Amino acid sequence: MIVAEQKSLDEIKQSISGFDKVLVLGCGTCVTVCFAGGEKEVGILASSLRMATRLDGKPVEILEATVQRQCEYEYNESIVDLLPQVDAVISIACGIGVQTMNEQFPEILTLPGLNTTFLGQPTEQGVWEERCQACGNCVLGTTGGICPIARCAKSLLNGPCGGSQNGVCEVDPDTPCAWHLIYERMTALGKQELLLELNAMKDWRTSRDGGARKIVREDLRL
C-alpha cells in the first residue's frame, strides 16, 4: 500500500491561513489502512484545525468529507457540491489524490495534509516498512522475494556491503540488512548459487530516472 504520515498541525494551519472556509478531504483506500487520512483522521484533523484557528483568533470554518478513492475522478464526483462552498481543500490522501483533485477541479486549490512516504507493508501494529521502490523492472525473482532496491540503503545488486553486521544495516540498527535477509532466504531455499552470479548495473530507464512514467494498455482502451 501507499504509506503516508500527517504533516504537523502547524504546517497545515499555516497553509490555510488566509482562507475562511476549508474542506478536509480524506481517502478511503491506502491512507485509511495506514491510519493517516481516512474518515477518522479527517474528523480529528478538522476538530484540531477548528480549535487551533479559534485559539489564534482567526477561526476557519472546516467542512469534512471522505471519498472512497481520491485518485480516481469518478469517486471525487461525490463531493462536487461541497467545493463551491469552500475557499480551499486540505487533502489527506496521498500525493496522487492531491494531484487528482487539482487536476479535476482546477478552480479550487487542493493542498496536501500528508507527506506521502513510501510503498510498504504494516509489519506490526503501528509499524510500516518500505518494500517497493517501483523501479519498473522487478528483481524479486532472483533475490528470494526480498527487494534490495528498496530495502538496501545503497540499492546493491551483488550482496551485502562491508557495513552489514549482526544482520542489521549500518545506516540504521533498526533496519535489517536486506542482503543478509536475501542470503538467509536463498540458503534456506538451497539456491545460494544464484548469489554468485554477477549482476551488472541496472537499467534505470524504467524507474523514475526515465522521467514521469505512463502505461497505455491498448487492450483496455475504449
Residues near another protein (CB under 8 A) are 153-167, 170-171, 177, 180, 183-184, 195-196, 198-202, 204
Residue type (1 letter), 202: K
* Closer residue to another protein in complex, CB, 201/216: 201
Residue at grid coordinates 530516472: 209
Strands (E) in the chain, as ranges, are: 2-6, 21-27, 61-67, 88-91, 109-112, 114-124, 127-132, 168-169, 172-176
The least distance separating another protein from the CB of residue 211, rounded to whole angstroms, comes to 15
Q: Is the Cβ of residue 125 or residue 166 nearer to another protein in the bound state?
A: 166
CB of 129 to another protein, least distance (A): 18
CB of 138 to another protein, least distance (A): 18
Report whether 150 contacts 131 (CB < 8 A): yes
Q: Which is nearer to another protein, 63 or 157 (CB)?
A: 157
Each residue of 150-170: b (16+ CB within 10 Å) or e?
bbbeeebbeebeeebeeeebe
Shortest Å distance, C-beta 118 to another protein: 16
Q: Which is nearer to another protein, 11 or 203 (CB)?
A: 203
14 HSE (CA, 13 A, CB side): 5
Closest separation in Å from C-beta 156 to another protein: 5
CB 129 within 8 A of CB 121: yes
Cβ-in-10-Å burial (0-12, 13-18, 19+) of 37 comes to buried
**In terms of CB distance, is 84 or 190 closer to another protein?**
190
